[in-house]
Chain A
């Protein structure tokens, strides 16, 4: 579990996971297109994510495809979140999303800048 937290404690690595969340099964070259990092840096970050089992790798011919592997995060979730809390958490999260997007619409319709939009 240490490897998982260590791997997650880095903005670039979280960005890589975000990219895979958007489009699963990308090659190294494809991942490099979206990120402002050298190929070597991306390779290193992917290696750490793979070691932590946050990324699963599948070879297709000569292509190495990277997939987001939710299993370690699911284990963390199982450990600290009980089955009765799930539905309440989902309800709260839906409420938060609903209110924040409504607030965003109101703000962007008015004068104030929608600064909070990018926090996700």
Chain B
């Protein structure tokens, strides 16, 4: 296999529409994703940015596929850690499937490279963010430690 990839699946008691909003709208992401906000026109080919407080550009890319509230594919590159930025673009896929009272959320993050530091870095971050997202949608409260942008990451 010529690429590094991980696949995370979590079941969240919510509707696909609510989960879709929670994945992209700043009002939600700020609560569970380190106080970050994403900017995009959310249509194929549109540019995509993620910003932390203080206008710090953390990641950027492009919307590759968008089909609300079922599927979103982004081209994604880290912007604030030179070593990770140098690895170039990765590809992130969100897939939302209704299953009973829940939504099965599949997150696939991949890069055309073996031994990617970027994939290693995000693979430990995602479970935390997704657990907090689940908590926010199910209980109304995100996990406390995910609400602020970690100061040690702002180098």
- The interface size of chain B toward A, counting residues with CB under 8 Å, comes to 17
The CA-CA distance from A75 to B18 in the complex, in Å, is 21
Q: Smallest CB-CB separation from A54: which chain B residue?
A: B9
Select which of A25, A56, A78, A83 is within 8 A of B8 by beta carbon.
A56
Say whether B5 contacts A74, CB under 8 Å.
no
List B contacts of A25 (CB < 8 A).
Answer: 1, 5, 7
- The interface size of chain A toward B, counting residues with CB under 8 Å, comes to 13
The CA-CA distance from A75 to B1 in the complex, in Å, is 30
The CA-CA distance from A28 to B127 in the complex, in Å, is 25
List B contacts of A75 (CB < 8 A).
Answer: 131
Q: How far is the CB of A97 from chain B (nearest CB, A)?
A: 17
The CA-CA distance from A55 to B90 in the complex, in Å, is 22
Given known contacts A24-B5, A25-B5, A83-B144, A71 and B10 CB-to-CB distance under 8 angstroms? yes
B49 at the interface (CB under 8 A from A): no
Select which of A53, A56, A67, A71 is within 8 A of B131 by beta carbon.
A71
The CA-CA distance from A55 to B8 in the complex, in Å, is 9
List B contacts of A53 (CB < 8 A).
Answer: 9-11
Q: Smallest CB-CB separation from B10: which chain A residue?
A: A71
A47 at the interface (CB under 8 A from B): no
List A contacts of B10 (CB < 8 A).
Answer: 53, 71
- Which residues 1-36 in B have Cβ within 8 Å of A in the complex? 1, 5-11
List A contacts of B131 (CB < 8 A).
Answer: 71, 74-75, 78
Q: Per-position contact with A for B89-133: 1 when CB-CB < 8 Å, else 0?
A: 000000000000000001010000000000000000001101100
B143 at the interface (CB under 8 A from A): yes
Give 10 A-B contacts (CB < 8 Å), ordered by A residue.
A25-B1, A53-B11, A56-B7, A56-B9, A69-B8, A70-B8, A71-B8, A74-B128, A75-B131, A83-B145
**Residues of A at under 8 Å CB distance from B?**
24-25, 53, 56, 58, 67, 69-71, 74-75, 78, 83
3 closest Cβ pairs, A-B complex: A67-B7, A74-B127, A56-B9
